[in-house]
Amino acid sequence: MAREIKFSLIYRDMWQSSGKYMPRKDQLVRVAEPIVEMGCFQRCETNGGGFEQINLLYGENPNHSVRAWTQAFRKAGIQTHMLERGLNGIRMSPVPKDVRKLMFKLKKIQGTDIARSFDGLNNPQNLALSFQYAKEGGMIPQGALSITHSPLHTVDYYVDLADKFIELGAEEICLKDMAGIGRPVSIGRITKGIRERHPDIILTYHGHSTPGFSIVSALEAARNGIDFIDVGMEPLSWGTGHPDLLTVHAMLKDAGFSIPDINMDAYMEARSLTQEFIDDFLGYFINPRNRFMNSLLIGPGLPGGMMGSLMADLENNLKSLNKWLTKRDKPTLTQDDLLLKLFKEVEYVWPKLGYPPLVTPFSQYVKNVSLMNVLQMEKGKERFSMIDENTWGMILGKSGQLLGEVDPEIVQMAKDQDREFFTGNPQDLYPDELDLYRQKMDEKGWDYGPDEEELFEYAMHPQQYEEFRSGKAKEKFLKTLEEKKAAKTAQAGAPAAKPEVLKVELDGEVFNVKISWDSDNQKNEPGEAAQLASKPSASNGHYETIASPLEGTFYLTRESGERGIKIGDKVKEGDTVAYIESMKVMNAIVAEKSGTVAEILVNNGDEVEEDDVIIKLK
């Protein structure tokens, strides 16, 4: 009898690997029924990863989305699963134990059956609580091996790692080939090695398509004992996404495996709805380059889930860099120039950072350090002159032990900055916080929500949740969407929308200038055309300015409970005075000279551009 292979649709990851945002709740509910009616899926990925943070960013309650979106699958008996990041939960930074525990209990109540847990460093220690809390919450704990390709990440390493996960309580194993750079024969050998040691455990292969290996890897995994294969579907398969259902289905059928039939009418409906969502608004946040496969990624090994947002980041970084270069009469770069420089730099940086698997969040850390190196070197500065705080946490062992050795140059940098290395259990660094957030919600008059889901959301994503509740997130998203639409209209040759406010720098002072336009689309006379909307109050005397080193969101503190600087505070050279959140990490802004804070020119949560003056010292 032919061996059966089952399919799981990676609907969440399809979107995250293509662009920045997910469909709205109403859209997810609409597409659920045709996915069920396709009849070929026994599992569907519905949430986890960046899903909830992304919902908050465009002003939608993610708890409501998960509850509504999973209903059709539960009714049909299709298992749902989520991706969670171990110590980091479903965000980019470590999470206290009590918040992690509540997450599994809540997600099961909301309709999620399986917790696919991975650690970005493949540390079993960081996943022990995930397996325990998933089981206690009624979920199936699945341990994910973060597949990468290096001299240290061998077949034996991964087979032994699966043993450790199972010993700690994992009831299933996933080969998470997040960059698609696992070599097919090695994928087959890893599958075979685990199957021989654990004949009855459920095994899943999850591979991204980016460099082109994953379709062959899926076949090798099937031949060596895999049970489930994760697939995508058009219009969001291939590229930085996943191999397409139809291709994998035809391949396995030809190879003699028993596979379920596909209801093609339902397939076409689900495909059509997905395209409708892209046309509605999501397509504005999908870079067309993400729809292509790229063998150049075999070298740097950057994952598909990150490439979805990387291209959007590069657009902004390129714009800022070219502005800087133009001011200095230097040649500008194209996006291809910057991308190739980045790929080359990742290959250089990765070993020096200890070979962390290139998976969230550590792929972002390696990429961000590499990109900052490229940008800084283009400006004549040295490598590693700007390392974000999240990356320092990884280097110092605050996320667990790295498999490789950190380069001596970076170790010396840490010592020079009085940074201490940590060798204990990373979870011990992050004490429980639910009571703190209960207090905060009580003070604000906010309800904890059913099953404390609003409390969970606040504790998991503090800054994003506050902006969601205030309406600021929705406002920022709609503004960005309108800008995207205007840019597309302008590219098509239609008149672009005229700006209402311009930033003007005059003798070192930055002014916000409001522009008025008459009904004939002609500028008014200078006396009427512009007026100063705001002007720095500290206009006399000598001031040292602190400018933003990159584009992003300004915050006075890393965490909502910390104390930020205020006017009148004295700061010393080298002190951290604020942070810029950019590319999903927090970058410390350091005072280059000592002084007294005379003025803070931007508000907490404001968007800033590179070289914007943010603080004045006297």
Cα-Cα-Cα-Cα dihedral sign, residues 330, 331, 332, 338: negative
Check whether 539 has a pLDDT greater than 60: no
Mean pLDDT over the full length of the chain:
88
Q: Is the pLDDT of residue 565 over 90?
A: no
Numbers of helices and strands, H then E, in the chain: 21, 19
Statement to judge: residues 531 and 541 lie in one domain: no
pLDDT at position 529 is: 32
- Residue with the two structure tokens 């951290």: 576
Residues 91, 140 within the same domain: yes
Concatenated DSSP letters for 331-393? ----HHHHHHHHHHHHHHHHHHBT---S-TTHHHHHHHHHHHHHHHHHTT--TTS---HHHHH
pLDDT of amino acid 518: 47
Within-domain flag for 121:
yes
Confidence check: pLDDT of 200 > 70: yes
Residue 114: closest CA among 16, 224, 10, 246: 10
Token digits of residue 86: 């171990």
Q: Is the pLDDT of residue 520 over 50?
A: no
Beta-ladder partners of 532: 513
Give pLDDT tens digits for 383-408: 998 888 889 999 999 999 999 999 99
Q: Do 416 and 545 belong together in one domain? A: no
Domain count, the chain: 5
Given a cut of 50, is residue 524 above it in pLDDT? no
Domain residues for 244? 6-288
CB atoms inside a 10 Å sphere around CB 589: 21
Helix (H, G, I), strand (E, B) or coil at 179: coil
Binned at pLDDT 50, 70 and 90, residue 287 comes out as confident
List the CATH number of the domain containing 39.
3.20.20.70
Range with the poorest average pLDDT among 500-504, 512-516, 520-524, 589-593: 520-524
Are 462 and 440 contacting, i.e. CB atoms less than 8 angstroms apart? no
Same domain, 213 and 88: yes
What does the alpha-carbon distance between residue 527 and residue 531 come to, in Å, rounded to a whole number? 8
Q: Give me the mean pLDDT over the 462-487 stretch.
A: 92
Q: Are residues 337 and 323 in the same domain?
A: yes
Report if residue 475 sits inside a domain: no
pLDDT of 561 higher than 70: no
Starting at the edge strand that comes first in sequence, how are the strands of the sheet with 501-506 ordered? 501-506, 509-515, 530-534
Average pLDDT of the segment spanning 245-262: 97
In a domain, 522, yes or no: yes
Distance between CA atoms of 166 and 164, rounded to whole angstroms? 5
pLDDT digits (tens, 9 = 90+) for 102-156: 999 999 999 999 999 999 899 999 999 999 999 999 999 999 999 999 999 999 9
Tell whether 272 is covered by a domain.
Answer: yes
Any idea which of 16-20, 328-332, 550-554 has the lowest mean pLDDT? Answer: 550-554
Contact 203, 238 (CB under 8 A): no
pLDDT tens-digit map of 273-284 = 999 999 999 999
Using alpha carbons only, what angle is made at residue 253 by residues 250 and 255, rounded to the nearest 5 degrees?
110
Q: Are residues 260 and 347 in the same domain?
A: no
What pLDDT is stored for residue 533 in this prediction? 35
Structure tokens that stand for 293 in this block: 């496969």
Confidence of residue 532 (pLDDT cuts 50, 70, 90): very low
Question: Quick check: 493 pLDDT over 80?
Answer: no
Instruction: Note whether residue 245 is domain-resident.
Output: yes
Q: What is the Cα–Cα distance from 545 to 548, expressed in whole angstroms?
A: 10
